[in-house]
């Protein structure tokens, strides 16, 4: 696979398809095989974390036998996502301890990138970047030669992210969620790219939802010259000059092959790219006037995660991804939409004046398994 500059800050080069390590097969031998298949096909950048179960250990095994030298290895940790010990805190000392854990689990002497993991509020950004915070722990590891570069991964509001970027001169790469179903981070990717950060996209297939059945998306893929909806979704990302690489959550050989084939096919033709952009814009939550996920309706008197249920309905009704929406709905813990008592409490607070209780009935009727 062709390599491109990984932003200006890191001085590295990267292939446009990269390895996401959150959904590797349970079986270690199978995981090693799928990782090596990806590296043999030219994927270079690896995204893993202490927080992805045994992922680091599986990469440690896969990178033996000369594979370590072929990759850019990246891991990450933050105490607000995963406490390894009960007194874990956002301090430099604690971060250094967790980096040493990652080195052991990956069985390597040095990690190419260690990232501040999952900033999702200004308070967490401050906890990471204040003197003595987690970023200082990464800096100490860099000065000791344990880590080469750093960056940040985030699930924050785009406006917050845009406010952080000017002070992030330390951040060599930025990892954000971005896909056809959610383009809200487009301005952040553009600004990060302008500043010279390497830009990485996670959830390129919306965690697998864009691999589900949708007649409308299948038509669009055909008309745009893509082999399938996943191929369309990945090549649409590659058409965006602000994105350096996407990390595909590889779980099986065909995931690797699809990610590599899309990268090799490259960006969509300009007319097809414009067409997909127009399609996505017309279906955005703002354009269709649906739930924005603002959360003002919370808390539900029965404990239902209303914005989560509304998101599943949006994907089903607007994008035609009914099966994927139902499957994801059923992975939500209880209580789910069938617990709604019609109390009306949420509707009085909804910023879009949505008939939430009717929507809960729709979700319960369509997504709960029939008894
Ligand atoms: N920093 C963070 O906070 C954070 C958060 C989330 C994720 N991540 C990283 O981002 C990576 C990517 O996110 P993701 O795992 O959600 O990625 P994704 O590629 O959007 O979704 C992965 C799922 O999509 C399906 N899939 C993947 N490639 C396919 C292909 N070519 N054709 C058809 N289906 C395909 C598979 O689902 P099935 O197995 O169901 O077929 C796979 O499990 C993660 O692995 C992780 O490394 C980071
Ligand atoms: S109407 Fe249903 S969803 Fe809304 S607060 Fe009441 S129980 Fe919860
Ligand atoms: S208040 Fe309305 S728009 Fe906001 S999350 Fe709740 S249902 Fe969605």
In this predicted model, what pLDDT tens digit does every residue of 24-58 receive, in sequence order? Answer: 999 999 999 999 999 999 999 999 999 999 999 99
Ligand 1 contact, 208 CB (< 6 A): yes
User: Which protein residue's CA is at the shortest distance from atom 2 of ligand 3?
Assistant: 350
Torsion 340-345-348-352 (CA) sign: negative
Q: Which ligand is nearest to the CA of 358?
A: 2
**Which pTM was predicted?**
0.94
Distance CA 246, CA 189 (A): 12
Predicted confidence band at 212 (pLDDT cuts at 50, 70, 90)?
Answer: confident
Average pLDDT of 163-167? 98
User: Which protein residue's CA is at the shortest distance from atom 34 of ligand 1?
Assistant: 211
Helix, strand, coil percentages for the chain (3-state, nearest 5): 45, 15, 40
Average pLDDT of 4-31? 98
Between strands 3-5 and 198-202, the pairing is unpaired
User: Which protein residue's CA is at the shortest distance from atom 7 of ligand 2?
Assistant: 340
Q: Which ligand is nearest to the CA of 292?
A: 3
371 pLDDT exceeds 80? no
How far does the centroid of ligand 3 lie from the alpha carbon of residue 308, in Å?
A: 10
Query: 194 near 186, Cβ under 8 Å?
Result: no
Ligand 2 contact, 309 CB (< 6 A): no
Distance CA 15, CA 3 (A): 5
Predicted confidence band at 9 (pLDDT cuts at 50, 70, 90)?
Answer: very high
Ligand 1 contact, 137 CB (< 6 A): no
Average pLDDT of 102-123? 98
Per-residue pLDDT tens for 314-360?
Answer: 999 999 999 999 999 999 999 999 999 999 999 999 999 999 999 99
Q: Report DSSP letters for 284-337, one per residue.
A: SHHHHT------TTPSPTT---HHHHHHHHHHHHHH--HHHHHHHHHHSPSS-G
Mean residue pLDDT of the chain comes to 97
Q: Where are the domains of the chain?
A: 3-277, 287-367
Select from 307, 334, 341, 359 the residue to mutate for testing ligand 2; criterion: most ligand atoms less than 8 Å from CB. Answer: 341
Q: What percent of the chain has pLDDT over 90?
A: 97
Residues with CB under 6 A from ligand 3: 291-297, 306-307, 310, 350-352, 354, 356
How far does the centroid of ligand 3 lie from the alpha carbon of residue 319, in Å?
A: 19
Ligand 1 contact, 102 CB (< 6 A): no
N residues, the chain: 371
Return the ligand 1 atom nearest residue 234 CA.
31
Return the ligand 3 atom nearest residue 307 CA.
5
Q: What pLDDT sits at residue 366? A: 97
Q: What pLDDT sits at residue 240? A: 98
Average pLDDT of 83-87? 97
Ligand 2 contact, 341 CB (< 6 A): yes
Distance CA 9, CA 55 (A): 27
User: Which protein residue's CA is at the shortest distance from atom 6 of ligand 2?
Assistant: 343
CATH fold group of domain 3-277: TIM Barrel (3.20.20)
Distance CA 367, CA 329 (A): 7
How far does the centroid of ligand 2 lie from the alpha carbon of residue 326, in Å?
A: 20
Structure tokens at 142: 């860099």
370 pLDDT exceeds 90? no
Ligand 2 contact, 360 CB (< 6 A): yes
Predicted confidence band at 186 (pLDDT cuts at 50, 70, 90)?
Answer: very high
User: Which protein residue's CA is at the shortest distance from atom 38 of ligand 1?
Assistant: 208
Q: What percent of the chain has pLDDT over 70?
A: 100
Ligand 2 contact, 340 CB (< 6 A): yes
What are the beta bridge partners of residue 119?
A: 154
Q: Angle at Cα 120 formed by Cα 354 and Cα 291, nearest 5°?
A: 10
What are the beta bridge partners of residue 221?
A: none
Return the ligand 2 atom nearest residue 347 CA.
4
How far does the centroid of ligand 1 lie from the alpha carbon of residue 211, in Å?
A: 10
Q: Which ligand is nearest to the CA of 338?
A: 2
């Amino acid at each position: 696979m062709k390599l491109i500059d990984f932003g200006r800050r890191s001085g590295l080069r990267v292939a446009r398809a990269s390895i996401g390590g959150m959904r590797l097969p349970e079986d270690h031998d199978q995981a090693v095989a799928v990782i090596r298949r990806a590296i043999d096909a030219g994927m270079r950048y690896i995204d893993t974390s202490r927080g992805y179960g045994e992922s680091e250990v599986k990469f440690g095994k896969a990178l033996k036998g000369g594979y370590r030298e072929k990759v850019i290895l990246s891991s990450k940790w933050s105490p607000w996502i995963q406490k390894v010990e009960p007194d874990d805190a956002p301090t430099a000392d604690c971060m250094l301890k967790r980096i040493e854990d990652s080195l052991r689990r990956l069985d390597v002497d040095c990690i190419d990138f260690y990232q501040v993991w999952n900033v999702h509020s200004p308070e967490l950004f401050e906890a990471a970047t204040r003197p003595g915070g987690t970023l200082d722990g990464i800096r100490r590891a860099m000065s000791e030669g344990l880590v080469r570069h750093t960056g940040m991964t985030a699930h924050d509001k785009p406006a917050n992210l845009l406010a952080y970027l000017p002070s992030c001169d330390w951040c060599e790469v930025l990892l954000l969620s971005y896909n056809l179903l959610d383009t809200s981070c487009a301005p952040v990717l553009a600004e990060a790219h302008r500043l010279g950060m390497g830009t990485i996209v996670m959830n390129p297939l919306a965690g697998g939802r864009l691999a589900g059945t949708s007649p409308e998306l299948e038509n669009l893929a055909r008309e745009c010259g893509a082999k399938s909806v996943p191929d369309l979704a990945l090549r649409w990302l590659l058409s965006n000059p602000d994105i350096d690489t996407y990390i595909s959550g590889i779980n099986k050989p065909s995931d690797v092959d699809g990610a590599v084939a899309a990268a090799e096919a490259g960006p969509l033709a300009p007319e097809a790219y414009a067409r997909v952009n127009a399609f996505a814009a017309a279906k955005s939550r703002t354009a269709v006037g649906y739930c924005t996920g603002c959360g003002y309706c919370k808390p539900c008197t029965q404990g239902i995660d209303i914005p989560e249920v509304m998101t599943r309905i949006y994907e089903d009704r607007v994008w035609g991804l009914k099966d994927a929406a139902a499957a994801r709905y059923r992975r939500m813990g209880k209580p789910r939409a069938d617990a709604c008592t019609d109390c009306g409490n949420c509707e009085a607070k909804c910023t879009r004046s949505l008939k939430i209780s009717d929507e809960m009935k729709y979700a319960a009727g369509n997504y709960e398994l029939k008894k």
